[in-house]
Amino acid sequence: MAKKTIVWFRNDLRVHDNPTLHDAVSTGDVLPVFVLDSTLLTSSRASSNRNRFLIESLQDLKKSLQELGSNLVLLENLDELVDLAKKQSVSSVHYTIDYTPYARSRDQQMKKRFEDIGIDFIGSAGHLIVDSLRGIETKNGKVMKVFTPFYKQWAQIDRRSVHEKPASLPTIPSNVNVGTIPRIEKLTQKSQLSEDALSGGESAARTRLTEFLKHDLERYGHGQNDLGDDSTSRLSSYLHFGCISSREIESKLGNDGPSVAFRRQLCWRDFYHYILLHYPDNTKQEFQPRYHGAKWSVNKKHLEAWENAQTGYPIVDSAMTQLLREGWMHNRARLIVGSFLTKDLGIDWREGETHFLKWLIDGDMANNNGNWQWIASVGVDPAPVFRRLYNPTLQQQKFDPNGEYIRRYLPQFKNVPTKHLGEPWSMTDEEQKEFSCIVGKDYPVPIVDHKEARKAALEWYGSIAANAKD
């Protein structure tokens, strides 16, 4: 009699290149399971956008498993997972390794629970490109804290093979209740759903990957920061949920400039998971101790203006509008709004991190945290503060020179000449009337003066640095 094994799907919602599924199939008859973890679905850091995307991804996974002869068993909690394993007399439970503090704590507890009843709890690689992050270190055996040397070592690591989807899977035992996927209305708030968000699921992910490789990758090397053209992959949400494998994506890349540039971006994803693995306290505090307890601004009006795309800086407000409308934001735009919040407004980076987690479909704990600390100049991979203190006007001129991005998200600028998009307040009263964009009526007055804010930011960061040396 063949052994029975459970595949506990989590952030690996796919049948193609899924090492966990592949390993389990080689062990015995597979029983696919997903647990509706209330901690992730309804906690203070939950997101209606991500919950909708999850439901769509589960629907797609269920269909794929049915086509292979199986099905997806939906459970309400971890106790039900343990009970199912006992009732079905499984020999092992397979899962994809996750490096977030919550996942590691949960998996340690589950490992003990399963081992206590004689069931193997087996983790497989698959969430990241490299099999293990623990082997990457400096010559002195220390954790790498700067991206470039990490990337160089990461690039030399042998890669695992890419797995095909199983040819077939056994049917679900008749005595197992497969359960039902929740309705979208149950796990989301309509007011917090982005109207133009991507659809979830492996099928959509694979279609998007094909389109990116065929149409957008060639432009990526020189156009990845072009806000108007937007030649980005739009794969981050699918990677977060594991609807597609980052290793499979990498395997389809060549060695030309655009492929190298995109592979480097995939490495940033691994890097931030590596940092969070070694420094789990980063989820609560700055990586650099000098900023622990730093007094950030608590100006609620400024924070609300930033969240609601009312800062008076078109490039910032376009990006924040994109976030609300799509549940996603161009990476260059994320840097611009991050710099504006932390440097121009002096507001705690954790406020930005929390707002992003509320709306982003790709709201990954490791990457969101790492990027916010990076742009706030409080995290790993340090650089002088002024290098990550962006002038919104210059950012618009450099990365949206034709104003396509701004006009896409802020229709009040459709008639405004491009030369005025960086600083619309500089238009004369006559020009504002002519172009149907009255500053203070059709568009907000800037909430801060960038030149003054820049000076204040440099003084604030400088004072902290000086005190740290004393």
State the average pLDDT over residues 329-351. Answer: 98
DSSP 229-266: T------HHHHHHTSS-HHHHHHT--SSHHHHHHHHHH
Mind listing the pLDDT tens digit for each residue in 185-240? 999 999 999 999 999 999 999 999 999 999 999 988 878 889 998 889 999 999 99
**Left if phi > 0, otherwise alpha if psi is -120 to 50, otherwise beta: which for 242?**
left
In angstroms, the CA 141 to CA 11 distance is 30
In angstroms, the CA 28 to CA 25 distance is 6
The structure tokens listed for 373 are: 């600390």
Distance of CA 404 to the CA centre of its chain: 25
Structural domain includes residue 419: yes
Looking at residue 120, its amino acid is: D
**pLDDT for the residue 469:** 66
Residues 270 and 349 reside in one and the same domain: no
**Left if phi > 0, otherwise alpha if psi is -120 to 50, otherwise beta: which for 29?**
beta
Structural domain includes residue 60: yes
Domain end point (choices 127, 147, 174): 127
**pLDDT for the residue 222:** 79
**Is the distance from CB of 374 to CB of 331 less than 8 angstroms?**
no
State the average pLDDT over residues 278-283. Answer: 96
Distance of CA 345 to the CA centre of its chain: 24
Residues 307 and 448 reside in one and the same domain: yes
Mind listing the pLDDT tens digit for each residue in 361-389? 999 999 999 999 999 999 999 899 999 99
**At 431, is the secondary structure helix, strand, or coil?**
helix
Closest CA to 271 of 364, 396, 391, 377: 364
**Is the distance from CB of 379 to CB of 286 less than 8 angstroms?**
yes
Domain end point (choices 278, 307, 329): 278
| Total of domains in the chain | 3
Q: Give the mean pLDDT of the chain.
A: 95
Mind listing the pLDDT tens digit for each residue in 260-275? 999 999 999 999 999 9
CATH number at residue 419: 1.10.579.10
Looking at residue 140, its amino acid is: N
**pLDDT for the residue 28:** 87
Phi and psi dihedrals of 439, rounded to 5? -70, 125
Structural domain includes residue 47: yes
**pLDDT for the residue 2:** 73
In angstroms, the CA 202 to CA 239 distance is 10
In angstroms, the CA 208 to CA 231 distance is 12
How many Cβ atoms sit within 10 Å of the Cβ of residue 287? Answer: 20
Mind listing the pLDDT tens digit for each residue in 22-50? 999 999 899 999 999 887 788 778 899 99
Residues 338 and 461 reside in one and the same domain: yes
**Is the distance from CB of 76 to CB of 36 less than 8 angstroms?**
yes
In angstroms, the CA 160 to CA 20 distance is 13
Residues 361 and 384 reside in one and the same domain: yes
Residues 240 and 312 reside in one and the same domain: no
**pLDDT for the residue 135:** 86
State the average pLDDT over residues 162-172. Answer: 96
Looking at residue 363, its amino acid is: G
In angstroms, the CA 263 to CA 451 distance is 36
Residue linked to tokens 């699921």: 201
β pairing state of 92-96 and 73-75: unpaired
Mind listing the pLDDT tens digit for each residue in 292-311? 999 999 999 999 999 999 99
What size, in residues, is the chain?
470
Residues 260 and 306 reside in one and the same domain: no
Pick from 25-29, 116-120, 297-301, 351-355: least confident: 25-29
171, exposed or middle or buried, with CB in 10 Å at 0-12, 13-18, 19+?
A: exposed
Structural domain includes residue 12: yes
Residues 137 and 83 reside in one and the same domain: no
Structural domain includes residue 227: yes
The structure tokens listed for 218 are: 């060639």
Mind listing the pLDDT tens digit for each residue in 52-63? 999 999 999 999
DSSP 328-373: ---HHHHHHHHHIIIIIS-B-HHHHHHHHHHH-TT--HHHHHHHHH
State the average pLDDT over residues 457-462. Answer: 97
Structural domain includes residue 182: no
Residues 453 and 357 reside in one and the same domain: yes
CATH number at residue 138: 1.25.40.80
Residues 228 and 297 reside in one and the same domain: no
CATH number at residue 72: 3.40.50.620
Structural domain includes residue 470: no
Q: Which residues pair with 121 in a beta bridge?
A: 93
**pLDDT for the residue 230:** 84
**pLDDT for the residue 1:** 54
In angstroms, the CA 453 to CA 341 distance is 11
Domain containing residue 55: 4-127
Closest CA to 197 of 404, 361, 13: 361
**At 82, is the secondary structure helix, strand, or coil?**
helix
Structural domain includes residue 349: yes
Mind listing the pLDDT tens digit for each residue in 404-414? 999 999 999 99
Residues 244 and 342 reside in one and the same domain: no
Closest CA to 333 of 278, 269, 399, 378: 399
Residues 120 and 222 reside in one and the same domain: no
**At 137, is the secondary structure helix, strand, or coil?**
coil
State the average pLDDT over residues 106-123. Answer: 97
In angstroms, the CA 291 to CA 377 distance is 10
Domain end point (choices 254, 278, 302): 278
In angstroms, the CA 280 to CA 428 distance is 52
**pLDDT for the residue 45:** 80
How many Cβ atoms sit within 10 Å of the Cβ of residue 259? Answer: 18
Residues 321 and 358 reside in one and the same domain: yes
Report the helix count and the strand count for the chain, using DSSP H and E: 21, 5
The structure tokens listed for 237 are: 């949400």
DSSP state of 214: I
The structure tokens listed for 452 are: 């003054």
The structure tokens listed for 182 are: 């929740």
In angstroms, the CA 22 to CA 15 distance is 9
102: confidence class by pLDDT, cuts 50, 70, 90: very high
